[in-house]
Amino acid sequence: MKIALVNVNFRTSGAEQLLGYMTPLPLLLIGGALINRGYKHIQLFDAANRNYDNDKVAQLIDDGRFDIVFISNMASTASLPLMLDLAVKIKTKRNVSKIVIGGVHATYHYEEIMNSCDFVDFICRGEGEAFCVNLIDTINNNISLSDVPGLVWRNNDGVIIKNIDSKLIDLNDYSAGWELIEDWDWYVSPMSNERAAVVQFSRGCPFSCSFCGQWDFWKAWRHKNYNRFVDELEYLKNKYNVTCFVFADENPQSNSEIWYSLLEEIKNRNLGIHLILNLRVSDIIRDKNYLPLYKSAGVAMVDLGVESASQNRLDILNKKTTVDQNKEAIALLRANDIVSIVQTIIGFSDETIEGLDASFRLLESWQPDILHFYHATPFRWTDYGKKIANNMIVQNDYRYWDYKHQILKLDNISNETLSLFLAKFLFEYHFSSSSFYRLAEMSDSYNQNSLINAYFLNYKYNYIEKFKKLTPLQRQKLKA
């Protein structure tokens, strides 16, 4: 059986401007599971990295006469229309291929997808590793599809069947199929000019922030044996010269003992690598005495889920952190020469200019190295999403549910006012004299060079290129 793994070419503006179109971990994990099972004819098509449109991918699938195509993308909601379009294009050319999609969005919206697109044969709910092995074994052995846990499919009468849930996997039983990467030179981070890979030590999170669905998707926090995980980092470093690792973990710090053991092990192996992670502010504070260990293990940048500068908002979001902790975590990272990337959510229905201005001033006073804003997005499986009535949503096109577009109806200000206010603040923050001194005084040259590149890329993509697209009237308005 010839198996294709396709990462669709979803494009937006965000972290990929700094990190590039990175190694597609879900497909590498699915591919690795199939390789370990003994399947040989597996090919990865990273259309996002290669910038291939769906016509080109459908042609490649047709040329290769693939029997089954696993389609995925990390931004599982915003890329859904693109995944379905590819399914249609592949089937139109070669009707015998089976199409499988999966990911977080498809796990919760499987019914809507199956009802809206006859070209999707199978949906995977939940984890993909054991699922794909079961599915291919079942097809090969001609056994009933009703025996594949996690599968959604249609029976001979066209009725949509949802099988039982799959069991949670033991992460130690599976490994990524890194050999499926065709050329590692495609995966160089524009920010640090080194080969980069997305890796995963743990899955899940013991918290339950209302806007986030990841804790519910993975069900329980689990981790790999830390020695085996560091073996994987070492293998990627030695075999492919990958020196930058972006962790896909929601919350790798959940168990402090295991976390410190992992950092010790990375440090002891002296790999000369850099780590970028998403971490909680409260855990940075818990680990204040361990931050030198973070640094010596190679932790270069931390994506901090600050989410808001308002305590009321943090409480509503069930973040279980405080505004003071946000401030302290940024200062602790700075004191330990670790770059802070601060993620904040904006665009709730009740935003006011006064409230935004107060938040911006507070964020500015905390002096993070990079500030990002995400627009509130009510994914329907999250506690927050469940509370949002349909008439509060002004953007129903999933392509824009990428955190970069306003999804909710604003009660007090216009979208345009919000965008301009935000763009102005971010520009003034990142290109201010205080930013310059912060950058110029950095002692770690890796961090300094990465940040200089990040600022340049931000300037180029978010300001110069956007400005070029404005009409003369819009430019005049902006200058005023």
The contact set with ligand SF4 (CB under 6 A) reads 205, 207-209, 212, 214-215, 250-251, 280, 305
Strands (DSSP E) contained in 116-266 are: 122-124, 151-154, 160-162, 195-199, 202-203, 222-223, 242-247
Instruction: Report phi then psi at 225, rounded to 5.
Output: -60, 130
Residue 186 DSSP code: G
Residue with Cβ nearer ligand SF4 (102 or 252): 252
**Cα distances (Å, whole numbers) of residue 360 to 93, 217, 310, 416, 438:** 52, 32, 10, 18, 18
Please, what is the minimum distance in Å from the beta carbon of residue 65 to ligand B12? 19
Look-up of token digits 């923050």: 429
**Interface with ligand B12 includes 100 (CB under 6 A)?**
yes
Smallest separation (angstroms) from ligand B12 to the CB of 6? 9
- Binding of residue 189 to ligand B12 (CB under 6 A): no
User: Position of tokens 């799959």?
Assistant: 166
**52, 110, 131, 455: residue in contact with ligand B12 (rule CB under 6 A):** 131
Q: How far is the CB of 29 from ligand B12 (least distance, A)?
A: 5
Which among 334, 306, 184 is positioned nearest to 244, based on CA atoms?
184
DSSP string, 74-100: SSTTTTHHHHHHHHHHHHHH-TTSEEE
User: Is 29 among the residues that bind ligand B12 (CB under 6 A)?
Assistant: yes
Closest CB 452 distance from ligand B12, rounded Å: 19
Q: According to DSSP H, which parts of 304-414 are helical? A: 311-316, 323-335, 353-366, 383-387
Contact 317, 308 (CB under 8 A): yes
Q: 3-class SS at 343?
A: strand
207 binds, among ligand B12, ligand SF4, none (CB under 5 to 8 A by kind): ligand SF4
Distance CA 32, CA 362 (A): 46
Residues 8, 82 contacting (CB under 8 angstroms)? yes
Q: CA-CA distance, 447 to 75, in Å (whole number)?
A: 27
Contact residue for ligand B12 among 4, 34, 90, 132 (CB under 6 A)? 132
Residues of span 243-282 touching ligand B12 by CB under 6 A: 246, 248, 250, 278
> DSSP string spanning 199-238?
E-SEE--S---TT--HHHHH-S-EE--HHHHHHHHHHHHH
Residue of 87, 101, 314, 451 that binds ligand B12 (CB under 6 A):
101
CB of 101 to ligand B12, least distance (A): 5
Of 123 and 327, the one with the shorter C-beta distance to ligand B12 is 123
- Max intra-chain CA distance, the chain: 69
Residue 371 touches which member of ligand SF4, ligand B12, none, C-beta under 5-8 Å by kind? none
Which token pair is 108? 């919760």
CA torsion sign for 30, 5, 68, 1 is: negative
Nearer to ligand B12, 327 or 407 (CB): 407
* 71, interface contact from ligand B12, ligand SF4, none, CB < 5-8 Å by kind: ligand B12
Burial (0-12, 13-18, 19+ Cβ within 10 Å), 304 = buried
Query: Toward ligand SF4, which CB reaches closer, 71 or 345?
Result: 345
Residue 298 within binding range of ligand B12, rule CB under 6 A = no
Q: Between residue 352 and residue 381, which ones bind ligand B12 under the rule CB under 6 A?
A: 379
Nearer to ligand SF4, 187 or 215 (CB): 215
Nearer to ligand SF4, 86 or 304 (CB): 304
Q: Pick between residue 133 and residue 330 the one whose CB is nearest to ligand B12.
A: 133
* 75 touching ligand B12, by CB under 6 A: yes
Q: How many residues does the chain have?
A: 480
Considering only residues 230 to 249 of the shown chain, the ones binding ligand B12 according to CB under 6 A are 246, 248
**Residues near ligand B12 (CB under 6 A), total:** 46
Determine if 19 is a binding residue for ligand B12 (CB under 6 A).
yes
Per CB under 6 A, residues contacting ligand B12 are 10-12, 14-16, 19, 22, 24-26, 29-30, 48, 70-72, 74-78, 100-105, 124, 127-129, 131-132, 198, 200, 212, 214, 246, 248, 250, 278, 379, 402-404
